[in-house]
Amino acid sequence: MNDTTVTASMLIRRGAAEIFAAFVDPDTLCRFWLDSASAPLAPGATVEWRFKVPGVSDQVTVTRFEPPCRLSLRFSDGQEVALSFDIHDGDATRVEARCTGFPDENLLAHATNTVEGFSVVLCDLKTLLETGRSANLTRDKAALIARKMAGPAGSPGA
Give 144's contacts (C-beta < 8 A, 6+ positions apart). none
Other beta carbons within 10 Å of 102: 24
pLDDT at 154 over 70: no
Query: How high does pLDDT run on average in the chain?
Result: 94
Given this model, what pLDDT does residue 153 score? 60
Cα distance between residue 95 and residue 85, in whole Å: 5
The arithmetic mean of pLDDT across residues 119-132, rounded, is 98
Give the pLDDT confidence of 42-82 residue by residue, as tens digits.
999 999 999 999 999 999 999 999 999 999 999 999 999 99
Other beta carbons within 10 Å of 69: 15
pLDDT at 155 over 60: no
| pLDDT band at 151; cut points 50, 70, 90 | confident
pLDDT at 89 over 70: yes
Cis peptide before 68 (omega within 30 of 0): yes
What domains can be seen in the chain, in order of their start residue? 6-150 (3.30.530.20)
Given this model, what pLDDT does residue 2 score? 79
Contact 52, 138 (CB under 8 A): yes
pLDDT > 90 in the chain, percent: 89
Global pTM?
0.92
SS3 of residue 26 by DSSP: helix
